Chain A
Amino acid sequence: MKIEETIQSFLSEVGILGEFVPYVTRFIFPVLAILIFFRCLLPLMSGGRRTKPWAYLTIAGGDARPLTHWENSIGRSPSCDVVINIPSISRIHAVVTRRSNKWTISDLNSTGGVTINGEAAIGQCLISRYDDVKLAGLPISIVPVTEEFDDEYEDKFEEKRLFERLAENAARIAARFGAGTTLLLIILFQILGGLTLVVLAAGSEISLKIPFVFLLYVLLELVYFAGTRFAGRKYIEPELLAFFLSGISLFVCASTNPEAMVKQFVAVLLGLVLLLVLQFFLKYPERARGARYVFAGGALLLLAANLLLATAQNGALNWIRIGSLSLQPSELVKVAFIFAGGATLDRLLSSRNFMKFMIFSGGCILALVIMRDFGGAMIFFITFVVITFMRSGDIKKLSLLIGMAVAGAAIVVSFLPYITARFSVWRHAWEFSDTTGYQQVRTMIYAASGGLFGVGPGDGALRYVAAADTDLVFGLLAEEWGLLVALVCALVPLALAVFAFLSVKSSRSAFYAIVACGAATLFLVQASLNIFGSFDLLPLTGVTLPFVSNGGSSMLSCWGLIACIKSIDERHRAQSLPYEDENDYEEDDYE
């Protein structure tokens, strides 16, 4: 291996000079991390969401109401998007849905019914402005906006509130943040990080795996970016954040277990493939709805297989081993779980298929409890609560459910000594610093040892503690990279969640709203349990920090969840005018 020797000797030469590299880079890392975070955050938070109407709904030939959403409910209830206060109209009467530049209407089991050209509408029916549509005898029609109308609206109807003006200003700044430059900053972070790792390791044996994997990773990022450019896709900030965090997970691997780097890289690659596949399924709500059954079935099969073939790892039975490959099915089930929860507005308001989701989630959570993956069960449960609330809006039913779950959990906890022990150490880690509080105490000690700028990648002491690369990874980052970089990593799930929250109303379908909010909930709860658990603010449950923790299954599922979050993003359609929409809709998709 002539080349290898050359590189080795070159690196050892560099090593002498390299002693000074960390002096500089340790200050560059937090600056870059914060820069990258804000360059992604601002476009995510700022406008680009459509507030102008797509069309007008005229009632009895007179009164014109703007249709500003893709899915609009019509009824007497003030919670409807179009309120028609006539006694013959039901509280929630119908839903009109925009698909491409066509409109459909669905009757929500209303008393008065919906007729199209005199015939009762069953299911989702395509309507044009020339159709004679009646809601309980009340004629309505949908008039698409014209170019002039669109311009007029600007001055006539739009009252800009302070918040909207702020969002607009942010958007103006954000517009200057090219995704390409942000990606370059991410790559710079990774190259500098890799360099520092190699330099700090210099003197001892240098693993060539580190520069090699980083080279491949940077290539992957460039290829993905080129792909999105080629496909004309803008708004790739969620992926950029995911790339940034996944890169950090490679650093975590390099520091704790360089052998795992290749596996982690492959997981990111597979994650990207999963992202693209899911984006295909998520392209139309109807297609996604159909795919749900496949995903849910697959999820239940995976969990069943897990229960049969499980091998215990760190107390939980949530691993399947196939040869040298170990898999954590509960991670993959997350994506299916989210999918299963989605529903379009018309379906959701006629409250069909609700029991199926309840039974499915109950099964998933029960399986996790049997596997003794209580952190996982907790994550699923809270996500279940969020999805159920978004589907039903029923606070009473939900409080009852939560009460039952808490009581059930209390019974389970009191019967399992393994869990009781975890609760007894909670908030008392320092009293058990050599037994059950060992990991939490080490996390605190070493996180504090890092200060704001860290002791240097690969130079920490927490990495010798069990699960430092997974459950305690926030502490590991705080020690080696400094508190600032660790905080940026912790804030990414929050940024994605706020983005999902802000985008709900402008999403193309309630389906996407639910899927994205569900995915965001998973990220948030996982990050909370991981970070707060390792600092003894919550019981340590052993869950991963999204994207950052070492673990293939977890990485894969995180990229899948990014597809869910991206599905809510309609910014690329927001600017396009309703009458010149891209013709990407296939008619047979809603049969």
Chain B
Amino acid sequence: MTTVSTQRDTRQVLSGRVARMLRRPEVGAAVAALLIFSYFSSTTTAFLSTAGVSTWLYSASLFGVLAVAGALLMIGGEFDLSVGAMTGTTGLIVGIMTTQYGINIWLSLVLALVFALSVGAANAYISMKTGVPSFIVTLAALFILQGANLAITKLLTGTVSIQGMSEVDGYEAVKLFFGSTLDLWGMDIKISIVWWIGVTAIASWVLLRTRTGNWIFGVGGAINSARQVGIPVVKVRMGLFMTTAGAGWLVGMLQLFGVSTVQATTGLGQEFSYVICAVVGGCLLTGGYGSAIGAAVGALIYGMTLQGIVFAEWDNNWLKLFLGVLLLLAVLVNLYVRRRAGDRS
């Protein structure tokens, strides 16, 4: 029996507990969230009031659903910029079909979902068959959807928003799923917060505990290796694009039934917000690394900052400056962590 010496080169490798902590993608985001929470809680009175908490949680939940689905796609090595516009498109589809043409509300929901999934599949198909980066393909899809949202809505309704949603047959029943409010310790908890938590839990479970999750990490981390070990690469990415588009539909419904109207400009200027949430939550832009919980925390940061700035009565424009700085910090931290605890090649 020969034994091979196992002397290790420990110069570059973080060891033990510290490494394990740092290797968790969501740690940095959690620290940042805690700091932001403490800051706004101590400097404004509205932030910790029951109304205040429900406001920023609601705000975070809408970004959160998209960020978590987007994080899965980013871990799988791809982008989808069109998903923000998709929230508007799906809302408009349901709104126009029900208010203008009297089509059954449930059927409209299903048709809008089918449309979203088809766009997701088309994004995946085009970028994978041609090798054009998904960044470009979905940027094109973003413009197409945004243009269509405005042009077609104006053409069919003569205005740029949908009126009279609440008079549609079956509206109350659907609102139960997408627009209701629960009373929890005196706080108005919008149902979208429940969806956000649910989506995060399921995504996290899939990512860490199922074979599909293993494949997502593999495809995003090293696509040729994934092919060599027999992972159906195309199927995995197709599924991810469709999941992201499906999340766009879900948020579209949450917005539509949350406020019973939808603007044709919905999603405008929000193309990158979910990408920011995911990156702040520890996702690498290059794929193969990240977490669903991290993305949810990233969305929490976004929501808290968005509303915190309002409560603190600052100028709204500070939000973008702050997010820019945060994004830059997150990218640098991610890079550092990856170098120290992950990728030496």
- A and B: real partners? no
Binding site for B on A (CB under 8 A): none
Binding site for A on B (CB under 8 A): none
